[in-house]
Amino acid sequence: MMVCAANLLTASKNAKLDHCLTYAEYMFAKNHFLTAIENAKWGNEALDAFNWFFHNLDNHQLQEEGDRGEKALLFYASRVHLDWHDKLALGKAYNISIINEDLLAKIARELDARDVKTGLDQARTTQFV
């Protein structure tokens, strides 16, 4: 592994945001993420928190809702993961393993509203013969 200043790093051209992955891809990628943070010596507390974060997502009741639930969980994971890193830079990191049910419900409602709007927009532009 090569160590260099963080501002010299750039994302791979093939990198995708968490919520742009399928749920299966996300759960596959988490294994690489966990290995990377272990190799980077983030410490057991961070490793345990992320292990529990992924476990709690994978066992969340929204999983029972199929694609809708997985989509909400991916958007939640994407938002919380970025927020956690932002807070870490400010010295205000929190226990990411604890699912913020209010935020998750808000994200699910936002996605539902967006899907309804998309459906309505499509219905308006569809010409009926």
d(CA 43, CA 129): 63
Print pLDDT tens along the chain (129 aa).
Answer: 333 444 445 667 777 888 889 999 999 999 999 999 999 999 999 999 999 999 999 999 999 999 999 999 999 999 999 999 999 999 999 999 999 999 999 999 999 988 665 554 555 666 655
80 three-class SS = helix
Report how far residue 75's alpha carbon sits from residue 61's, in angstroms, rounded to the nearest whole number: 15
Confidence (pTM): 0.79
